[in-house]
Structure 1
């Protein structure tokens, strides 16, 4: 799942970057930016500065003068009125490139000469003909040029017919000339350098006077004193109108006034598309790294809002017009793509999750079928599930399963716990841990009732195990389920699928690899401490064998030891373990004198002459202190060949080897062999010990066994101690040694030595 998420992240990132580059390379980004401009200008409404006054050739003036074109005597009168009123400049946005009546032209020229340097006349370029791509430069007639300045009034609408930009300068008649707006604002710039018009300025706030009112002197001179006066047509019948993105169709003279107002604040410039693209890429990258889709969207919205705010601030304060559409489109595309990915992920997750408990379901487990290697799969079956559901309801029983899953997960080797059926959970027992160790640890965890909705309920669990390749996981589930059912009907806690042992014996041929495993160090010895209740210290250890196969991984002793016995390969395995234990005993004797070790002897070996001879030789050559080593045998071992077995045990006892009867109470003819065998220790089976502190019958049996052992001069060991209450009971009952997960699980030698060192530090 993580791999697919990473792959989709790279794909989305590549697509978003491609989108941004495509928008930059094409006209799409610019088109979207143009569409956004009216909104950007609408955020803040600006008032005109008041430094520019428009003298309108309006409908009132057209009605008063009547004939068109007007005689330029009217222009002369207006120039004289404005000059006397103290106008800073008098700028005409009126075509004077062709002669009018002679009297008017003379009068206008004379008025211009009386206002030297104040009057600005327009120049512009126009097409030679409708089907001709050449342009003709239009200049004022010669009689008017003597005392007037010339400025360009060229307006270049965008492809959609709307005016958004104005030039700072153009070339007419071979001469670079400032645009009308640049002249009024006294701004310089390169020829054909465009600047965006600030459409946030409200045209209605630009002061206006009617042309005929100025001509006739019907205006307050203070309204134009020290101001730049712009004269142009606003009457609809005179044409000269342009579309704008925000203000609709307005007269050309008003467009010129807005452009001049823009330049009075400074010269706006366009920002870099590449910088905005990089910023959007960074935002998209962060969004894709955030695992929570809601958090990713929230970040994207916050980043988009911050970018918009920064762009508007740059536009209004720094006069920097940055492109916005591409960055927003990239952020939106990232959010949308991540949303699609989230929907797909949730759909996949829902297919792989049990909707009642939220645990992975059987479909999720079957997806593991593609994995390599061998696995031991456990299926935990709830025997009283129908009762739980009747008492707790659907949700309550689901909560109970979740609580069970949490406990099982503690021993599940970091793997998931799957709900494979309504009353079943599947998992992989602890990695590197014997199956019996894992099951005893799990049983200890599951002894306590489960709390659901404030109620404590007991859950009846049995567990089945099956081993095989991951690619046959469906078969493993079936075999483990059958084993769990067999455990339930057999009144046990767990059982290994019979087919599993047969597979190992028949097809894996483990015994053919045993010699190599011993030689290469795959067979390891772990030690489980026995705690001395009198000294409150570890007094002894039991050696347990572990097999770490280089291909199959951990193979539990519960699987390979029965096969070794069946294949008559148990003798070399036991001798290897004995030799390792004797070596370890010699290494710890100096630092931990008195610490003894026990080795399990299989039922068949006491009657095996060559084995007994080699075992006696190993113990003799080790030169260990008497009583340092103990052999643990079961009642069945003594009964399989009574005379030979008893004789062998007496020889061992004569060598100073202690003899412990393991699993006491589970065999037959126990009292007979207690009298005949040279025992030094009794080990009470865990089936009696685990519940003795709360079960009266078990308590009676344990107390009587301890008393019997002491009467016979034997030490008594209780195995399977898993909680403090049980330990307290055994201490009170006078038990000598206790063993179980409460004390320690089986550990390698290095960990055992660390436990002993820590124990000595605490005692010091």
Structure 2
């Protein structure tokens, strides 16, 4: 008895869950069904059908040709209505060409000059082609239910079939379907398209037009060209021809899905092409709703979010495959939107339930962002000395929430998290407060300064959320060891003072000690030659060859390991050691230039000159003496300076630059665009080159504003006689864009990473062989 009772108790919860799943599926189906009946799903259905037309686009059969009353014909005839002798001559020409059917989408319901009517009637009578003339009905007046029918005049009807050209726009004004026949003058009339395609059906029954047919693929001929016999008769032999207006001034135009606005004759032709394949069979929304309700039970039974996603993809994919294949291979018109909405609703509901359960199981996750929360951070660093906490506080967070909406805050935080990880943060990233993210770092405190500065630069680019581009500004706080609150307080202080980052008091003391120690070791590293100089190639776009390179210093510390230049160069500037470091790099660059020249490779090398050194008479003199004594042609050197270097002391900077220019050294403005100078200001400096900062170049082939800035800078720089270097090239598409706008040089990882001198020579040779 106990065993049986246990088994029964195990079955009952499963049975209840299944009943709940069925009930939820039926409720979803009922809600979507009501929305469908109310018309709320129709826009989604229309959009889905439009997407299907785009995916299934195919050319017309070629059996149907359009003779268009185009602008050229209007200009040639210069009267309206056109004398009917013109139509007579066209019918005769088509008769001689052997056209199978000639259908008119032109109103002949009013008599014209009797002679003209007789000419046209005789042409119809002697034609061997099947002639179809239009009939149509229209309301007597606004609000009237009475229909006025328009038929061709009796003299013309004797020699032709009649076809209805009535159009049935949807409530939104777009023509998606056409009648296969209409009631006109008390009699059922096949539509023009049904007459051409030889299809039958009930009057006033509508069929959907296949807008997957490319209207531009329907062969067209100018009316006046046919009238004058300027065409190849063989092209129209055995073909069906429909004649109608395409000239804009004739006004016969309709809005349609997928193709915008089309002339009425083209719409009639698409309808005929549709019927030529067979009268489309409609499969309404109820079948997809029923099938989706059954499939949603399977989705609602999924035990994990991954399974929900997999089942959703499988069910939606199966329904879309049936919809696509049925529409492509057979004349089926299947309504799918209601069923897809049921599946989407089931997927969303099940996902929401599972997310709620996961949150309840793991209180270490922030529900809004999906990131680990403050409890998770405290658990990680509990008692763990030696690690530092970095807090990132989001400025104007409440305003951002208002802009993107509460539902998109998680998406926004996820985008910020991605930026932080790409920028060098040691994940995971924690959300420890409403507007504060944090992470634990094993880096030295002085290294974190440059990391935070770099992250601040990365965040200058807008973040895209739900189609909106929003600016997200961060302030960073650095805490010593496990001081979470200290890091948050430091971030708050940085935000108030307008700084990128700030230390908590204890962390600041430790960082200062580390910096002093490191700068003492830098002196020894320069003396012993522990630093190394690498070269990043610059590609000359006009010749597709490497003709210059930038010298970059690297420090492999014996105990601290590899140190980023962003770590020790700012410290060298602050501690007045940047002069010795720069002279070391220049000395190494001159030596390498001499070695390369001896091996038959002549290129130019760029050396970065700190803003602190530009106006230093002692440094300028040291550089002059080194260049004069070395024997290397000075024109092989390029000195790269920043915008800020010239803005601090314009007169002193200009004087120093002129002294180097007099030696033959070229001057390049580095990181252009990140400062405050303009090209009109720079024309007063002895520059030969501009380097556009990577933050503008990297996405110039994708971002319209960046592209505009880069293009205008290149054009204006060329007008001032300056060459332009674009740095930060990481994609072939970006390089192609720079070629297209006439940029002179490109530099970045796509061209080549910083490398030793010997490796640079090999890279130059390889690029030269590829360009040959």
TM-score interval w.r.t. the shorter chain? Answer: 0.3 to 0.5
TM-score, with length taken from structure 1? 0.45
TM-score, with length taken from structure 2? 0.45
Larger Rg: 1
